[in-house]
Structure formats: C-alpha cells, structure tokens
Amino acid sequence: MDRRNFIKTSALASGMVFVPSFLKKLEFLPEDKLSGFKNVIIIQLSGGNDGLNTVIPYSNDIYHRLRPKIGKDASKVLKLNDSLGLNGSCTELMKLYENGELCIINNVGYPNPNRSHFRSTDIWQTASASNEYLGTGWLGRYQDANCQYPYEAIEYDNSLSLAMKGRIKNGIAVTDPNQLFQTTREKYFKSVVDHTDESMLNEDNQGYLYKTMLETYSSAEYIYERSKIYNSTSEYPNTKFAMNLKGIADMVVSGLKTRVYYTSLSGFDTHINQVNSQDRLLKTYSDGIGALVEDLKKNDRFKDTLIMTFSEFGRRASENSSAGTDHGSANNVFMIGGGLKNAGIYNNGPDLVNLDKNGDLKFQVDFRSIYATVLDNWLGVNDQRILNKSFSKLNFI
C-alpha cells in the first residue's frame, strides 16, 4: 500500500487533522512578535459560481438576450460604473468597493478549460495545466519551501483540501481548537505519542503516520493555547460560513503564526432555478465578509490581511431551459484587503461578443498569475519555485 492510500484508510484521514513533517519542539513567539506579518485568507465558492450574475454587465443587450429569465436589469444591481454592477445581494462587498478595499479581476481562467467540478477544482488547487496531474497543492508546495510548522497553513474545515497538501508538509484542518486539543489528549492517541521512538519514524507507512500524530499533538497544543487569547465580540451572521470566518479572525487576532488560511462556501452548482439560490448564497458570502473585515479592522489586522475569493469555473453565458446555468469556464476573482495597490475593476468586463465554441467566456487572465502575485508580492516567496513555471504578475498589490 502506498503512503497516500495508507493515510486515506487510517483513522486520521476521517478526523480533523492531516499534518506532516516537523519533529522539533514548537517555539512559542514572544508577545511583541505576534503581529506585523502578512497573511492571506483564501475562500472557495464551491460548485461553480455564476460570475455573470455576480459582476453583472447590466447595460449589455447581449447579456439580456442570452438570459431572458435570469438576467438582472439595472434596478437589481449595485452599480459599479455605467456597464457593470454587483449582484444586489452583495451590499457589504459594495461598501468595500466604495472604500477602495475590493479589486475585481474579470475573465480569469486557464487554457483548455475543464468543466468537471472535480478536475477543475484539482487544477485550481494544484495550479496545474489542464493536461497536467499534480499530487501536491500550490499552498502545500508553499509550505514545503517556506514553512517550518504545520499550523503556518490552516484550513477552517473538518478535512484538508488538496490545495493544502505538500510533498513533505501539509497544513492542518481544524474548526474547534479545544476539540482538536482534547482529541490529541485521548488515551490511545497520547499513548502512541508517548511510546514512539526515533527508529519507528524511519518506517515508510507507519513512520509517516507516527510523524503525523506527533506533529498533530504539538500543533494542537499551540493552536489551543493561542486561541484562548482572543474571542471576537463582533457581531457575525448566524451562518456556518460566517462562523468559519469568525474562527479565522480569532486566530489572526490571537497572533497565531499562520500565513495562509483556507475555507469554502458550497452550493453554487445552479443548474435549476438559479436566481433565488445564488442570491441567497451571495448574501451569505457578502455578509460574512463584511463582518470579517470589520473585525479585522477593529483589531488593526486588516492592513496585513489579503482575502482572495475564487470558484473552480464560471457558468455558460446562456441560461438553460431550467432557469439555471450550466458549467462554463472563465470567471471573476475578488481580492479584498487594506493594502491594495489597485482597487476597483481591474480589467475589462466579460466579452459576450467573442464567446468560445461552447458558448463560454474566453479567459484573459491566467489564475496562476494571481497566485504568483500573491506569493511574490504579498507573502514574499519565490513564486516560480512553487508554481513550477514563471507567470506574469498583476499589480493589485
């Protein structure tokens, strides 16, 4: 059995943890060094959010011809300019736009797009080409090259996505620091940790599991101790997504030495009766983001935080016969932060005149250029080493 299958079938694979690769004792930073470093929060809108009904070309006659039932007219959008507007559910995003804290990048995708949820998600999470299959995520490779401890990349979820898995290091998945800590202190878990010696770590499959458990044991203590420093009193919406963002804010403000956070909001596969479901989801997203930003501002951490939102693909330009949309390709990406260099609408809106042969938007910005910009200009690391290729940088930060 190879290591990947071994881990999948182990008890750890179904729990809250998935962390490889350090054996040193964790070093707790002194209080005066807990803040001041930049971090990035990455949010995936899972299912394929319809970008055309998120950033809406409301004055474009072609848009309305393609979408006679689900198209949004001028009265139902928050106008960004004379041609583009935000979905009316995104009132908190509109505030960020007006404050110069939102950058909208249109027509983001990659060559030869794949319209499978699973494959396109893998492409976005590994930063691969459409004909390339990688077993490590772009954030996992960031950890391999630049991180010492698993908790430097945290996914606020019960399981770890491919994006956070490296060749020798993985991030850690957690939603409740106290529960994670208590789990690692259970009798069986603690017994394995206490009775593991160095010789056992050299075995292939079992050694990998022992390392994972040791690292989880130490990381759980660090995260738990830091998490007690701050518990937000800010008001968040009563949604699971907003509570995930609150948990991330608590970690950021507590001074956890984490550079990358990852979470998701699902439900965007809107083949049928799209309007109500997408509007509801976008309100959930927008309201949660608004609360997160307010919390970070109150604690002087917004200026050091960059929030990136993407979806694995957009939708077809034309509505389908079920008042929904089918899988498409190019989409918009949101960048939110207190240190944006270029806020507002970054590039031209969707070109509905020159669709591809499938009726999809043609991409104009490679998503890996956004990754390269975040890695190089924000996190200050070698983007080519992580992405395995050089991509042009954008100037939003």
Please give the pLDDT value at position 211. Answer: 58
Whether 281 shows a pLDDT value over 90: the answer reads yes
Report pLDDT digits (tens) over 15-64: 333 333 333 444 444 444 444 589 999 999 999 999 999 999 999 999 99
- 352 to 52, 56, 63: CA distances (angstroms): 10, 12, 7
Cα–Cα distance for residue pair 346/343, rounded to 1 Å: 7
DSSP 315: B
Structural domain range at position 287: 3-387
Is residue 394 domain-resident? no
Is residue 24 domain-resident? yes
Q: How many domains does the chain have?
A: 1
Give helix 177-184 / helix 187-194 axis angle, nearest 10°.
60
Is residue 151 domain-resident? yes
Is residue 395 domain-resident? no
Please give the pLDDT value at position 94. Answer: 98
Which amino acid is located at 254 in the chain? S
What value does the mean pLDDT of the chain take?
87
Q: What is the pTM of this model?
A: 0.88
* Top-confidence residue, 212 or 222: 222
CA 257 to chain centre: 18
- 381 to 144, 219, 377: CA distances (angstroms): 12, 23, 8
How many helices (H) and strands (E) are present in the chain, helices listed first?
A: 12, 12
CATH number at residue 139: 3.40.720
Task: List the structure tokens of 171.
Answer: 């991030």
pLDDT band at 219 (very low <50, low <70, confident <90, very high): confident
Report pLDDT digits (tens) over 222-238: 888 888 888 889 999 99
Is residue 260 domain-resident? yes
Average pLDDT over residues 295-312: 97
Nearest to 327 by CA among 311, 340, 337, 315: 315
Is residue 185 domain-resident? yes
Is residue 231 domain-resident? yes
Cβ distance 217 to 193 under 8 Å? yes
Please give the pLDDT value at position 3. Answer: 44
Provide φ and ψ at 106, rounded to 5°.
-95, 160
Report pLDDT digits (tens) over 149-162: 889 999 999 999 99
Cβ distance 312 to 48 under 8 Å? yes
Is residue 396 domain-resident? no
